[in-house]
A = this chain, B = another copy of it.
Amino acid sequence: MRTKPSLTPSLGGLARKAQLLDCAVDVLVELGFAGTSVAEVARRAGVSKGVVTYHFPTKEDLLGEVVASLYREAGEQIGQATGDSDSVIGELATYIRSNLTFVADHPRHVRAVMEVAANMRPADGPPGGEDPLSAHLRELIERGQATGEVADVDAGVLAMTIRASIDAAAARAACDPTADPRGHAEHLVTIVRRALLATEPR
């Protein structure tokens, strides 16, 4: 039997995968997690449903890779901007700025991952315990407190607050093109510096 010519020829594995991930991001952003179906992703990619399940055997694989690829990119971009400061305050500022710069550069992908994270909970029930990203921040702050560099506010709460502020700005940036994540970073840095460095009045 003759092979039927395909409208959408092979893209050689990796390219096809990247295309599908792109489409998945779009669908997540526009239709939300609940509205994201394999069929819709395929439709936007202009391929058949089978193509999606060929490259990503299950839906979880697809969405998991949406998350993982963002983490990979974020790790690279943020990793570069790290460690080049010797003060704790400086490191915090770098962390906040690099995080929100990344968000400003990839608002849609970030939003997509938020959709997934809010809905695809790990099999072992709700997380509970401290978020690892906050934990890292907390340790950083505690280090500064140990050396007396920064004031003695609750490190855990401040860490959570910084993380939450970054995430909120990201969420906003993903939906609202007029939002300004980089400005948010600067103002947040100011707030954090005041909280950590300032001398309380009187």
Which residues in B have their C-beta under 8 angstroms from that of A199? 198-199, 201
B187 and A154 within 8 A (CB): yes
Question: Is A87 an interface residue when CB atoms closer than 8 A count as contact?
Answer: no
Q: Which residue of B lies closest to A198 (CB)?
A: B198
Question: Is A128 an interface residue when CB atoms closer than 8 A count as contact?
Answer: yes
B198 and A158 within 8 A (CB): no
The 6 closest A-B pairs by CB, nearest first: A198-B198, A154-B187, A164-B164, A157-B187, A164-B168, A161-B165
Main secondary structure of the interface of A (DSSP, over half): helix
Some 16 contacts from A to B, beta carbons below 8 A apart, are A32-B121, A33-B119, A127-B175, A128-B175, A154-B187, A154-B191, A157-B183, A160-B165, A161-B165, A164-B164, A164-B165, A164-B168, A191-B195, A194-B200, A195-B198, A198-B198
| Candidates B121, B125, B195; contact of A194 at CB < 8 Å | B195
